[in-house]
Amino acid sequence: MHIFTQTAPLQYHLRTLKNDGKAIGFVPTMGALHAGHLSLINNAKQECDIVVCSIYVNPTQFNNSSDLVKYPRTLDKDKYMLQEAACDVVFIPENSAVYPSPVQLKLDFGYLETLMEGRFRPGHFNGVGIVVSKLFHMVMPDVAYFGQKDLQQFAIIRQMVSDLSFNLRLVCCPTSREADGLAMSSRNMRLSPAQREAAPALYQTLQQARHWALHMEVPEVKTAVEQKLAHMPALKLEYFEIVDSITLQPLEKINPQKQTSLCIAAYIDDIRLIDNVFLLD
């Protein structure tokens, strides 16, 4: 496994491989790796000749500075996990390699910024869009892999790839879960035992809401979810939405012919968790 911290040697290494006709798969991460990240690596391994994983905690996508400070960092373990997963290249840039000068460009994702993550994390998607486009330019992958866990992130990256004509294919991989249904997340490491016990309620609520959505009107489902979470003092609901899985437009009515997603965000104390499921498998 080759590890790079600077862009020029990374690009030199990848250019040689590309010239040999190798297909490059890319998995951008913020580290504190878990089995969800490894599922993306495995997907990339199956489809590409060379798999590149980046580990970079991007400061510009944190709208909350204490979340950035508290973000878990487990670099030695991450490298070991990537080695075991037979990842070919790891890129661990310093801030100065990613942001040699302050970025003036602002990305505007239109209505996608007005709902769910966009609404509650102002500036977050601008930071994500900037860093992912920088990483795409540095790695120049043929295929890039993202998780369905961050459904809205995938939607904005798809928009950006289309609008800016990036020459790559995007793949959205299913959410990896713990045995009790909790979506794997680097932030789960911060949960105390009591918080960890409360956390699966998020997924359980989504499962119940899925069932409700097949029998009830959308506003009724939303009220039922709010009431359910109001009875769980450990969880503070931020939003619950039923949306078109592609456009992410909130739906007023369920149409079983349309691919529909149920999305939720909640706090357990100061730890923010998100999750989503498709209405139908």
Q: Which residues are catalytic?
A: 37
Stretch that binds ligand AMP, among 73-81, 147-155, 209-217, 265-273 (CB under 6 A): 147-155
* Position 182 contacts ligand AMP (CB under 6 A): no
Phi, psi of 236 (to 5 degrees): -115, 110
d(CA 77, CA 90): 13
Residue number with CB closer to ligand AMP (72 or 250): 72
Q: Tell me how far, at minimum, the Cβ of 175 lies from ligand AMP, in Å.
A: 4
Q: Tell me the HSE value of 9 on the side-chain side, using a 13 A CA sphere.
A: 11
In sequence order, the 6+-apart residues with CB closer than 8 A to the CB of 42 are 85
Residue number with CB closer to ligand AMP (135 or 221): 135
Q: Tell me how far, at minimum, the Cβ of 176 lies from ligand AMP, in Å.
A: 4
Q: Do the beta carbons of residue 176 and residue 35 sit within 8 Å? A: yes
Residue number with CB closer to ligand AMP (35 or 194): 35
Residue number with CB closer to ligand AMP (182 or 209): 182
* Position 183 contacts ligand AMP (CB under 6 A): yes
Residue among 109, 165, 172 nearest 143 (CA)? 172
For the window 10-49, what string marks contact with ligand AMP as x by the rule CB under 6 A?
-------------------xx-----xx-xx---------
Q: In angstroms, what CA-CA distances link 85 with 1, 38, 41, 77, 81?
A: 10, 7, 7, 12, 6
Which helix (DSSP H) or strand (DSSP E) does residue 45 occupy?
helix 35-47
* Position 146 contacts ligand AMP (CB under 6 A): yes
Binding interface with ligand AMP (CB under 6 A): 29-30, 36-37, 39-40, 146-147, 149-150, 173, 175-176, 183-186
